[in-house]
Amino acid sequence: MKQKELLAESMNNDEQMKVVERAFKRTQRELAPYQSATSQLTDVSFNHALGRPQFGVPLALNTTILAGAFQHSQQVVGPPITHCTQRPGERLATRGSLGKLFKSNKHCWRCGFQKKIHVRSGTAFGDKCANNCGHEQCSKCNERVLDCHAVGFVGPHCPNEPVPNTQDAVADWWKDEV
């Protein structure tokens, strides 16, 4: 309470603060007409003959990733690129996204490892599986999870192709169609 009282008292009696406040208000009143938006924009011409615009000066290290944030216009008139305003729908790694043919009683739908591996390691199976059953690599593509995968997209959700030493296990994830 004492601190608030001292602060209020110092603010009321401080001449320097009052001078600064008056200067800010005077400047704000003087600049009001200059800060208003223009009513008409000037025409801009774009040279489409130069090809797709480059990003960054110097060029960005991840040009392809950066370019994904923009839409490239194929039309002759208008700007060659515009910023994307819509994001693609976010995919979720769910049990239902694997379909009815996935053997969810034998293989974990989150990480793809067998139930017996979960039991041996003492980790939860299925819905409560976390941390990729303690493995650093994906059960499908054998790549490091932290380096090469989005969160939750390991095992049966992994978009990469299986490697030769995991092809048999990946083939066993699915029931034969009848």
List pLDDT tens digits, range 97-151.
888 888 888 888 888 888 888 888 888 888 888 888 888 888 888 888 887 778 8
Model confidence pLDDT, tens digit, residues 9-39: 776 777 888 888 899 888 877 775 655 555 6
In a domain, 76, yes or no: no
pLDDT for position 84: 58
> Domain count of the chain?
1
- Any domain includes 77: no
In a domain, 154, yes or no: yes
Please report whether residue 37 resides in a domain. no
SS (H, E, C) 78-103: CCCEEECCCCCCCCCCCCHHHCCCEC
Whether residue 50 is contained in a domain is answered as: no
Residue span of the structural domain in which 125 resides: 96-171
Residue 40 lies in a domain: no
Residue 108, in any domain of the structure: yes
